[in-house]
Chains A and B, each alone.
Chain A
Amino acid sequence: MSGKSSREERREQRLQQESEGERQERRKRLLQIGSALVFIAVVAVAVVIVVNSTGGDGGGEVDLEDTSLVEDQLSGIPQQGMALGQPGAKVTLYEYGDLQCPVCKAYSEEVIPNLIDSGVRGGAAKIEFRNFTIIGPESVPAGAAAVAAGMQGRGWDYIELFYRNQGPEASGYVTDEFLTEVAKGAGVPNVAKWNKDRKSSKVISEVEATTKEAQTLGFTGTPSFAVEGPGTSGKESLGTPGSAGEIEAAIEAAS
């Protein structure tokens, strides 16, 4: 009787030991899985951060060029909204442009600096940039970003710096990061406000309105120019003049 009981006790003990062993084994296995998860998480976070810091997601750092060149070119000239020059200048030259347009970039680099030196800096004329978004959908946020910068007196810094750092047409380079870097480079004082303004319906509507206006004036390409002054009857279309000289002559005639 007692022999049977001790056999049962031993059996019970053995089963308990086996069960405890299984539990220990299971615990060991689960802890190993936990360690593997930690390892994977550390590697994943490290990889994502490294990829991000090298710009692999397309939204990395933007190295702007010609920031000081633009600053020098525009220094000392008053700006109001998208207009560059003395507010009381008799003649206004309107430029209808698209920030993504490579021809506009060429004008910005080769024609506009001459006009600034010959007419704008002296106070004879002011140039007003108006968005004419024809390249692609990204032209609208780009134009809106410039208008929002104009609300803080940095519209022309924004336009000129954008052109100097323009990417290939509609290639997707117009990201929030790119626009923000241009705003910072252009010296927009309150970037948070600019960020809010550029997305506002008021600013987007303005970009759409000036595009419609350009179409009403009969323009089909960018940049297109118009001039208005005492010598003109309202806004006179100049189309796309081939040189700074032609525009200077038009300003002279409008004076």
Chain B
Amino acid sequence: MSAPAEGTLRAIATFVATFGIGVATYITIADSGGGSPVCVAGGSGCETVADSSYSHLFGANIAVFGIVGYVLLLTVALLRGDGARMAGFAISLGGFGYSVFLTYLELFKIEAICQWCVASAVLMTILFGLNAVRMVGYVGRPA
């Protein structure tokens, strides 16, 4: 089975990364005033997760690192060539791995689920899938 056209993969990745920037920015803004993201379907999961010690890393909300990650993924989606393919794969792999860890924390440590974090984890998983297909299918081939 041949991989989808690289242009299609890049276009979808551009859209998903832009959406990811929006989600991570919302979480950052909601947290910056001492508050927390509002769970769309109600409940206090987002509040519990935002108030936990795991929500910050090196003094910054982890959503800030999310914004940086999505911006980098948006950038590599817009670029051509092996550098962009490998960078996109490596960054999305890191983001996906970190999302797995955060989901583990939500389920087993914090014991609360934040819909916004789940949304971000889903987007990062999609981006990892797109970048993995792009890398495996096109790396080492002309741009």
Q: For residue B108, which residues in chain A have a CB less than 8 angstroms away from its CB?
A: 53
A34 to B131, CA, bound (A): 11
Q: Which one of B89, B112, B140 contacts A28 once the chains associate, using CB atoms below 8 Å?
A: B140
B30 within 8 A of A: no
A192 to B139, CA, bound (A): 48
Q: Is the CB–CB distance between B48 and A195 below 8 Å?
A: yes
Q: Is the CB–CB distance between A34 and B51 below 8 Å?
A: no
Report how many residues on chain A are interfacial, defined by Cβ distance under 8 Å: 30
B94 within 8 A of A: yes
B48 to nearest A CB, angstroms?
5
Q: Is the CB–CB distance between A31 and B139 below 8 Å?
A: yes
9 pairs of A and B residues whose beta carbons are closest in the complex: A27-B140, A192-B44, A176-B53, A41-B97, A30-B139, A45-B97, A195-B51, A26-B140, A192-B48
Q: Given A30-B139, A59-B109, A192-B51, output 6 extra A-B contacts at Cβ < 8 Å.
A: A27-B140, A27-B141, A28-B140, A30-B85, A34-B86, A41-B94
Q: For residue B52, which residues in chain A have a CB less than 8 angstroms away from its CB?
A: 176
A24 within 8 A of B: yes
A49 to B139, CA, bound (A): 32
Q: Is the CB–CB distance between B101 and A45 below 8 Å?
A: yes
In the complex, the number of residue pairs spanning A and B with C-beta atoms less than 8 Å apart equals 68
A residues near B, CB below 8 A? 23-24, 26-31, 33-34, 37-38, 41-42, 44-45, 48-49, 52-53, 59, 175-177, 191-193, 195-196, 199
B79 within 8 A of A: no
8 A-B pairs within 8 Å (CB atoms) are namely: A27-B139, A27-B140, A30-B86, A30-B140, A42-B97, A44-B97, A176-B51, A196-B47
B122 to nearest A CB, angstroms?
17
Q: For residue B34, which residues in chain A have a CB less than 8 angstroms away from its CB?
A: 199
| A interface footprint on B74-104 (CB within 8 Å = 1, 0 otherwise) | 0000000010011001100110110011001
Q: Which one of A33, A175, A176, A191 contacts B86 once the chains associate, using CB atoms below 8 Å?
A: A33
| A interface footprint on B100-143 (CB within 8 Å = 1, 0 otherwise) | 11001100110010000000000000000000000110011100
